[in-house]
Structure 1
Amino acid sequence: MERLLALWPRQIGNQCLLMLAAGALLGWLLPGQTHWLQPLATIFLQASQIVVMPFLICELIVGFGRLRPGSLRQLVGRGGLVLLALWLAASLLVIVLPLFLPPLVTSEFYHAGLFDVHKSDDLLTTYLPDSIFTALATDNFPAVVLFSCVLGILLQGLDDREHLLRPLAVMRSLFNRLNKLVVRLIPFGIFALIAINVSRINGEQLIRIQGFFAVCLISFLVLSLLCLLVLISLTPLRLRSLWQMIKGPLALTASSANLLIALPMLVSNLQEQLPAALGVDPDDPRVREMHEEITPLISLGFSLPTLGQVATLIFVPFSAWYVDRALEPLATLRMLLSAIPATVSGVKAVVRQELLNLGLPIDLLQLVYVNGEWLYRFEKVLGLEGLAVLAVLVVAQGVGAWRPRLPRLLASLGLATALTLGLGLASRSALAAALRESYRNDARLLALSSTRSGETPRVASRPWPAAPVTLQAIRARGVLRAGVQDDALPWAFRNARGDLVGFDVDLLKSMARSLGVRLELLQLPLEQLEQQLGEGRLDVVAGGIQNTPERAIRHELSRSYQTVNLALVVPDAKVRELQGGERSAPSRPISLAVEDESLISYGLEAQIAKSLGDARQRARVKLVPIGSSAEFFTAEGQRRYDGLLTPAESGAGLAVLHPSTTLITPFGREFSSELVLMVGGRDAAFRRYLNGWLTREISLGRIQELFDYWILLKGGAAARSR
């Protein structure tokens, strides 16, 4: 035991690095055994979060309150220049790196995030909330920092400020001691966090978005190298000294994806080690003064857009590339000018707003969730590096340790440029080879097969003769005659093997099994199916049939079994015009193709015109019936129609099969509809049986199983035995 304890590093930074490696190894080798570490990770995160805010409030009030007159202006001036330089460096990479991405064709499956409601973020309420206690409760760091800074600045004008500063200084010391207790947990918290997160890595997801991973990795390497080279070019700081100061906070930030809880450690390390690293006398009055200014400086830098937040905006031009609509450099620059100030409200909120502004599909936001585990670490670690650069450069200038070496600085900039070009060209070549013919979502969709066990239903080649449609007659002949409409993905369609499959096909198989009869199918256009149903040649009709008043007049309808939401499938080039969001109404008439003619009504046209319009005027919309969705996807259909009005649950699959189009949801969930079965005959017993059976299927979760498999393309194993 003593030998093992002797191997334990003395320095907290080395302890963090050791446990980081150990946690990564455990998560990689034993991913199923990391769940028992979750309580430790939770305790660590909660303890860190509790300590941080009180510690920083006291630090800021005391730090600003004890600043000498005029020093605040100098601090903000020097720090502002450094922040602008950091933002400029990250912005240049956001503009340049996406230019190295090769062409890509893709389209994504249906997901619930398509209907996320966007709430506009107000920077004014971010910095000025209703109450400071609300800001504390919601971890609104910018508001807390601003409030604390204002209190500290106001204290400077009070003659008896020491009466308040002395007890606050005692509280600061108390919270500092409490923070040191939490610091002892950091290596073990890192171990738990990194083990849990490594165990969750999805290799398939990493392959799918390797382009984003590549540009982020290059951005991280170049910015990290640039930060390092700038520091050693402008100050006497050595690499070893810098590493000693940031390795602990770096490991904590990388493992937790939380920069806030690493700030106390970063501040403490800089206060204790930076004077010696810069080679200045710790008893120099300027050094003691800068010691007090480090906390306000770091806190202000954190409350403003960080280096990591600006660099993360590379997701927006990546998203445009992902849907084959690459942004011009000037468009990316305009995006940065509006997005950088808003990054303090969070990456997801800013990305969503910029996707809307640029007319890019909102469903691209799901990539933020897919990449969240490493994307937030990328942002936070770069943010930490930027704060370290900010503190070192401002302190070095303030204590007279400014040692600019122009040749070394120019060489550093040249090296960073060469590294960007080299890695960019290499990644473009590698990605082009890896992504060649890599689009597989269409094949994945067409590879789906029935989730229901039992006999494969026979598909009739011609209509059946007319026969009574009653519950007794169906059971007597032993056959359920079901019609499914053509071109009804994902409700009824031909898969890659030529089998007739789909959500409604599986539903009909289960229904026939419940009736104790054999299922036979007839696939025809919807208009012909309705005719056959009226003539008594079919018992039921399915295939994504929506409940409409006109249809209810012509036929008996079952109860609803699935809610769908109308959306648009549009060519990629027309997404911006029809996406919705904060932009003006289309200036020309919009022609929308509609496969189900019974949906067309003046009321629906008016509602769509309102949704696609703006506050001043409605859009001019024309709904045009077409024979099938295939007509829309022809060259002539793409020229004639601006979009296809269809349920989002169907449209996502159509866009996957035609990746040059995109599913958009400008109406949200405003235009919902219900899927039903059309029932032949007038037998009340048959209708009651169908409705009772559908109610039971819904209550048992079997309809949800079908939705998960055929719409979301997940699961299926649980449903195969039914």
Structure 2
Amino acid sequence: MKLSTKILIGLFLGIFTGVFLGEYAEPLHYIGDAFIGLMQMTVMPYILVSLLSNIGKVKLSEQRALIKSAAVVLVILLICGLGAVFLLPMFFPTWESSSFFSSNLVTLSEPLDYIRIYIPHNIFGSLAENVVPAVVLFAIIVGVALNSIPNNTKFIQALDVFGDALNIANKHIVKLTPFGIFGIAAHTAGMMSLDELGLIQVYVVIYTVAVVILGLIFIPLVVSAVTPFRFKDFLNIPRSTLLTIFATGKIVILLPQLIENVKELFKKYNYEDDQIDSSAELMLPLAYPFPNLGTLVIMVFVPFAAWFAGKPFTVGDQFGFLGSALLSSFVAPITGIPFLMDTLKLPQDIFQLFIVSTAYTDRIRVVLGSIHLFGLTVIAIAYARGLVKIHALKLTRAFAITIGLSLILLLPFKFLIGESFQESFDKYESFMQMDITTPRVVQVIPDSTEYYIPSSIQAIQEKGYVRVGYMSDALPYVFFNEHNRKVGLDVELINLFAYEMGIKLQWIQIDRSEITQAINEGRIDIFASGVPVLVDIMDKAEFSEPYSEMNLSLLIKDHKRDKYKDINHIIQNEEAYFATNQSDYLKTRITEELPGTRFEQVESVRTFVEGDSKADAMFFSAEAGSAWTLVYPEYCIIHPEGLHIKMPVSWMMAKDNLELVRFINKWIELKQYDGTIDQLYSYWILGEGTKKKEPKWSIIRNVLHWVE
């Protein structure tokens, strides 16, 4: 049985096993992890040895024109490939990527060490850490130096022997592919929801369209525009070879056949001599270790991973990514893509989606790579023989047809399928379905005539209920869910306090301007709505021990995020206004870090997001602002680099009511110690409460009913 057949069997058996077992397939990821590790084991040494050998053995003086023309064509093709990688993410369906707060928002990320990435100051360290660009640069520099040494034959032969050994070892590992694919597919099918599986079609469809347009349209059109060879002949002659490459998923084993196809194409047009034959035999093996369009364009999976994870991937990120992607395309995607994902701090578990998709995408990748090699070799030899003639009109037509077909095929996909994705991934709906997890205590109807200040917890228990003041729309601390039930971090924490004290709850809505007055005149016992502790109100009330914190950030329209990514951009934008509903003290803190900041005082965050403000952005906490982006997904939270303002979050009580404050502090300390507050923080602030805990659908549970 052919290996390709075994791989398909392993894939389908894995999918069936995952669907059958559901979450019980989770341990099978060890099989997939072991397989990936084995596949990566020989890749870096092989590419190093292969590049050293091929560059070292080329007779540069005799084949200067051929190599020069090949280098120019390679650069042009790779520039086109980089353009494709840059443009293809624009066709990802638009769906709002608003999300709950994440500590990554306010954590200062370490800048990329480009010296370490690109300069191999320790080649063994670069090999051990899979730093692809550094290894490639080392191989190119040393390979060129090796080429200039007169007696290098024996060393190059030794490199070839070692390369053959690595290749044989890799072939043995490849035999395990059906088992590896089985483990990966089983784990993915068992653990992933149908919505998530639906998302991967974005990457598969877009990459397929890219392969078809670049391989079957663009390269043949370019070859026919600059050489005597017709579009039809360029594709027909290597057709059987390309089909075999698709079936086997390997270029290297079909290199001899591709060489014969090059000779056949020239022969059909009566260009046949030993020089053409020798050039073909040199050019294809020499070009093989270098990047090709198939391997380069598949790097679009990295921006897809960012899109999938809901992480912004700006134009600035794209330019930084493209350089690393180019050098990473010297190696197999299974090595290059994890490196790029690590560089951009993307979740590595998304890489499992790539592995599952390779059963198909690897095959079309090598087809595009083969067409790339075939076209590169044909143009290079034709140039060396003086057969290249640039036809501007034909080249313009080639680019126009490529761009036109891309738009025709991809624009409908972007807009038609994007709407269904937005419906499937509506985080606002999940947010509004959240409810508290602790038993709700009985609520008492507020009595506006009651004014007293309880001196202790005993006084509250004797009364039978605690009066808690709150502000409406204090997301995610206090708000109303879709069932009009009061929910949020403070709501659940207060509810838990009342439950453990054996008392009832009385919620009383208080205006922001009346908070300290309501506390000190005895209208409420506690105020809880995500209150930041600030210096200018510390002498007006008592505050509990902090149970959380707020990080000052900017709430801003998504398309403006790059304008204020660091404090220098804010300071330099002298015309900008920034909305705030904070105190004078906090505005002073802001102007200390951002001199010249101009403020517009707004009543609430809703005033700003609903457009009743001329401000560009609003200073707001990242924790609360992230929740508002779920309600208004056209907004996002950014934490400008260099802005460092944190505020503790506490409950407020009446001035000098120290006994009650001491008791509350002890209770909060106990809840911090037993992990309750951390759990509620994850639930309400980090959004764990929106993640459905229902087990995944499986045959073993939902059809056979063997497990609960």
- Provide TM-score, normalisation by structure 2: 0.78
Q: CA deviation at 1:436?
A: 8.5
Distance change (3 Å), C-alpha of 1:23 and 1:579:
same
- Alignment of 1:242 with 2:242, yes or no, is yes
Shift in Å, 1:475 = 1.8
1:553 maps onto 2:545 in alignment: no
How far does residue 322 in structure 1 lie from its aligned partner after superposition?
A: 11
Whole-Å separation in 1 of the counterparts to 2:21 and 2:559: 47
1:674 aligned onto 2:648: yes
- Rounded to whole Å, the distance in 1 between the matches of 2:525 and 2:177 is 67
Give yes or no for the alignment of 1:569 onto 2:555: yes
Match of 1:308 among 298, 302, 306: 298
Q: Are the counterparts in 1 of residues 120 and 134 from structure 2 also a CA contact under 8 Å?
A: yes
- Aligned partner of 1:150 in structure 2 is 141
Q: State whether structure 2 residue 686 is matched by structure 1 residue 695.
A: no
Aligned partner of 2:471 among 476, 485, 496: 485
For residues 182 and 366 of structure 1, what CA distance do their matches in structure 2 show?
29
Amino acid at match of 2:664: L
In structure 1, runs of 5+ residues without a counterpart are 1-7, 250-264, 354-364, 610-617
SS in 2 for 1:715: helix
Q: Which amino acid aligns with 1:88?
A: C
Q: Which moved more, 1:498-507 or 1:697-706?
A: 697-706
Equivalent residue runs for 1:28-67 within 5 Å: 28-67=19-58
Give the structure 2 partner of residue 615 of structure 1.
Answer: none
Of 424, 430, 444, the residue aligned with 1:458 is 444
- 1:84 corresponds, among 59, 76, 87, to 76
Q: CA deviation at 1:506?
A: 0.7
Which is further off, 233-242 or 52-61?
233-242
Q: 1:420 to 1:44 in 2, by over 3 A?
A: same
Look up the SS of the partner of 2:42 in the other structure. Answer: helix
Letter in 2 for 1:74: L
8 Å CA contact 2:247–2:363 kept in 1: the answer is: no
The aligned residue for residue 360 of structure 1 is none
Comparing 206-215 with 146-155, greater Cα deviation is found at: 206-215
RMSD over equivalenced CA pairs, Å: 4.7
1:277-676 matches, within 5 Å, as 296-301=286-291, 306-309=296-299, 340-344=322-326, 373-374=352-353, 384-395=366-377, 419-424=405-410, 426-427=412-413, 430-431=416-417, 434=420, 440-458=426-444, 460=446, 462=448, 464-572=450-558, 574-580=560-566, 585-597=571-583, 599-607=585-593, 609=594, 620-637=596-613, 639=614, 641-667=615-641, 670-676=644-650
SS in 1 for 2:462: helix
Show CA shifts across 1:494-523 (max 9, x none). 233332221101100111122221121111
Q: Deviations over 1:602-642 (max 9, x none)?
A: 233221x1xxxxxxxx5x203444333233234332x2x23
Query: Contact (CA 8 Å) 1:86, 1:386: kept in 2 or not?
Result: no
For 1:274, the equivalent position in structure 2 comes to: 258
Say if 1:470 and 1:685, in contact at 8 Å, map to a contact too. yes
How many residue pairs get aligned? The number is: 661
Structure 2 vs 1, CA of residues 350 and 586 (structure 1 numbering), >3 Å: closer, same or farther?
A: farther
Gaps of 5+ in 2: 222-230, 268-272, 329-335, 694-708
Aligned equivalents of 2:95 and 2:554: distance in 1? 22
| Gap change, CA 1:446 and 1:422, over 3 Å in 2 | same
**Displacement after TM superposition at 1:302 (Å):** 6.5
Mapped partners of 1:322, 1:691: distance in 2: 38
How far residue 366 of structure 1 moved from its aligned partner, in angstroms, is 9.8
Write the mapping of 1:104-119 to structure 2, written as runs, cut at 5 A. 107-115=98-106, 117-119=108-110
- 8 Å CA contact 2:549–2:649 kept in 1: the answer is yes
Q: Structure 2: how far apart are the matches of 1:47 and 1:372?
A: 16
Corresponding residue number in structure 2 for 1:254: none
SS in 2 for 1:455: coil
Q: Is residue 2:178 matched to residue 1:187? A: yes
Question: What letter is aligned with 2:188?
Answer: N
Query: What amino acid is aligned across from residue 630 of structure 1 in structure 2?
Result: R
State the Cα distance separating 1:162 from its structure 2 match: 2.5
The letter of the residue matching 1:579 is K
State how 1:134-173 maps to structure 2 within 5 Å. Answer: 134-173=125-164
Q: In the superposition, relative to structure 1, how do residues 392 and 433 fare at CA in structure 2: closer, same or farther (>3 Å)?
A: same
Using the alignment, how far apart are the partners of 1:124 and 1:664 within structure 2?
28
State whether residues 236 and 278 of structure 1, in contact with CA within 8 Å, keep that contact through their aligned partners in structure 2. Answer: no
Whether the aligned pair in 2 keeps the contact of 1:141 and 1:303 (CA below 8 Å) is no
Q: Which amino acid aligns with 1:137?
A: A
Could you say if the C-alpha distance between residues 217 and 479 of structure 1 is closer, same or farther in structure 2, counting changes exceeding 3 Å?
farther
- 8 A Cα contact 2:245 2:367, kept in partner: no
For 1:495 and 1:52, how far apart are their aligned partners in 2? 53
| Contact 1:566–1:667, Cα closer than 8 Å, also in 2 | no
Give, as a single letter, the amino acid of the residue that structure 2 aligns with 1:34. Answer: A
Give the secondary-structure state (helix, strand or coil) at the position aligned to 1:299. Answer: coil
Aligned match of 1:261:
none
Q: Distance in 2 between matches of 1:591 and 1:371?
A: 39
**Structure-1 separation of matches of 2:58 and 2:297:** 27
The alignment partner of 1:490 has SS state of coil
User: Are the structure 2 counterparts of residues 634 and 482 from structure 1 closer, same or farther at C-alpha, using a change threshold of 3 Å?
Assistant: same
Q: Take 2:239 and 2:204, find their aligned partners in 1: how far apart are those partners?
A: 27
Match of 1:5 in 2: none
**Structure 1's 703 and 651: CA in aligned 2 closer, same or farther, altered over 3 A?**
same
Q: What is the alpha-carbon distance in structure 2 between the residues aligned to residue 224 and residue 458 of structure 1? A: 71
| 2:321–2:340 CA contact under 8 A, matched in 1 | yes
Identity of aligned residues (%): 20
Q: Distance in 2 between matches of 1:509 and 1:554?
A: 26
Cross-structure match for 1:3? none
- Equivalent of 1:686 in 660, 665, 668: 660
2:66 aligns to what?
Answer: 74
Q: Which amino acid aligns with 1:505?
A: V
Contact 1:504 1:542 in 2 (8 A): yes
User: In structure 2, do the counterparts of structure 1 residues 285 and 241 end up closer, same or farther at CA, with 3 Å as the change threshold?
Assistant: same
Report the CA distance between 1:478 and its aligned residue: 1.7
Task: Give yes or no for the alignment of 1:133 onto 2:124.
Answer: yes
Alpha carbons 1:234, 1:404 under 8 Å: kept: no
Change in CA separation of 1:603 and 1:683 when aligned onto 2, cut-off 3 Å: closer
In the alignment, which residue of structure 2 is the partner of 1:356?
none
Q: Which moved more, 1:129-138 or 1:412-421?
A: 412-421
How far off is 1:340 after superposition? 3.5
Q: Report the residue type matching 1:244 in the other structure.
A: T
Contact 1:482 1:538 in 2 (8 A): yes
Task: Note the 1:700-715 alignment, pairs <5 A.
Answer: 700-715=674-689
Secondary structure at the residue paired with 1:520?
Answer: strand
Give how far 1:649 is off.
1.0
Which deviations, in whole Å up to 9, do the C-alpha atoms of 1:649-668 show, x marking residues without a partner? 11112222223432222147
CA change 1:285–1:40 in 2 (3 A) is: farther
Q: Structure 1: which amino acid aligns with 2:240?
A: R
